[in-house]
Amino acid sequence: MTNHQDFPVPHTSRQLAPLSGSFSLPGGAALVLFSGGQDSATCLAWALSAFQHVETVGFSYGQRHAVEMDCRATLRRQIADLVPRGAERLGDDHVIDLPALGKLSETALTRDAEIKLGKNGLPNTFVPGRNLIFLTFAAALAFRRNARTIITGVCETDYSGYPDCRDDAIKAMQVALNIGMDQRFVLQAPLMWLDKARTWKLAELIGGPALVETIRRDSHSCYHGDRGEGSEHDWGYGCGHCPACELRAEGWHRYQASKS
Ligand SMILES: [Zn+2]
């Protein structure tokens, strides 16, 4: 595998136009890919602690866990209130409809099928190239919104094995998007080298126990969308047995163990 340090640095023949209008504040503007799950919720908090203006984007593509999308608005506001200066830094939310992605992907996320590991070792929840598509749409939006930094919660440390969550894929996308759009976007994946326990720790460092509790209670990662009666666990809501719930539960328990 190519070491991430060996990847070419993106270059363009032109400098990025200076940030203008309401986005001319020092620190610049960032666009966070925000699904309403634990990882993107932590990324939003991280972005609000680091950037002067933060907007969010979500994608609706007929995913079975649409409940994740329903959590977004409440969670966005709660996170902003718990990060110093977060409320004044939080800008617009954007939702992009991608029904074609749902139609293309014959997977468990979009069809009523059992979630299990496929022969290739990936859960059948895998939507091929999903993150690459999301990043491309996010970059097109960032271009229009004059945001230079695009933040994604992908991670290759403690993850389900999706190849487009890997650092090399993100680095390659940064190069491709910058060449293809003649920009100097910076794609940031602050969770890339954190396991799920350290992702909880990061939330604690940014917003204390209140932010951890908000993310635990109001973010949603379960593939089945379980948030009903009997679906609350110490680590949050979910079915408790899909790959996303298992990852989240293990991370939560390691985080709790690290505190004692
Ligand atoms: Zn689940």
**Closest C-alpha among 47, 121, 46, 163 to residue 172:** 163
* pLDDT given at position 224: 75
* pLDDT given at position 157: 86
| Contact of 41 with 72, CB cutoff 8 Å | no
In 3-state terms, what secondary structure has residue 188? Answer: strand
Please give the annotated binding residues for Zn(2+), written as ranges.
222, 239, 242, 245
The answer to the question of residue 81 being in a domain is yes
* pLDDT given at position 162: 82
79 vs 135: CA distance, rounded Å: 23
Q: Which residues contact 180 (CB under 8 A, 6 or more apart)?
A: none
The answer to the question of residue 2 being in a domain is no
122 vs 207: CA distance, rounded Å: 34
**Per-residue pLDDT tens digits for 47-103:** 999 999 999 999 988 765 566 677 789 999 999 999 999 999 999 999 999 888 877
The answer to the question of residue 101 being in a domain is yes
Going from the Cα of 124 to the center of ligand 1, the distance in angstroms, rounded, reads: 14
Q: Tell me the residue range of the domain where 103 lies.
A: 28-196
Low-confidence ranges of the chain (pLDDT < 50): 1-26
Going from the Cα of 234 to the center of ligand 1, the distance in angstroms, rounded, reads: 14
pTM of the predicted structure, to 2 decimals? 0.83
Listed residues: CB within 5 A of ion ligand 1: 222, 224, 238-239, 242, 245
The answer to the question of residue 246 being in a domain is no
* pLDDT given at position 109: 54
| Contact of 17 with 186, CB cutoff 8 Å | no
Going from the Cα of 255 to the center of ligand 1, the distance in angstroms, rounded, reads: 19
The answer to the question of residue 67 being in a domain is yes
4, 20, 27, 33, 174 from 16: Cα distances, Å: 24, 11, 15, 22, 15
| Contact of 244 with 160, CB cutoff 8 Å | yes
The answer to the question of residue 161 being in a domain is yes
CA 17 centroid distance within chain: 27
Going from the Cα of 214 to the center of ligand 1, the distance in angstroms, rounded, reads: 19
* pLDDT given at position 18: 35
Number of domains, the chain: 1
24 vs 20: CA distance, rounded Å: 5
Q: What angle do CA 80, 52, 198 make, to 5 degrees?
A: 55
Please give the annotated binding residues for ATP, written as ranges.
34-44
The answer to the question of residue 237 being in a domain is no
256 vs 260: CA distance, rounded Å: 7
Please give the annotated binding residues, written as ranges.
34-44, 222, 239, 242, 245
CATH number at residue 61: 3.40.50.620
Structure tokens at 163: 């190849």
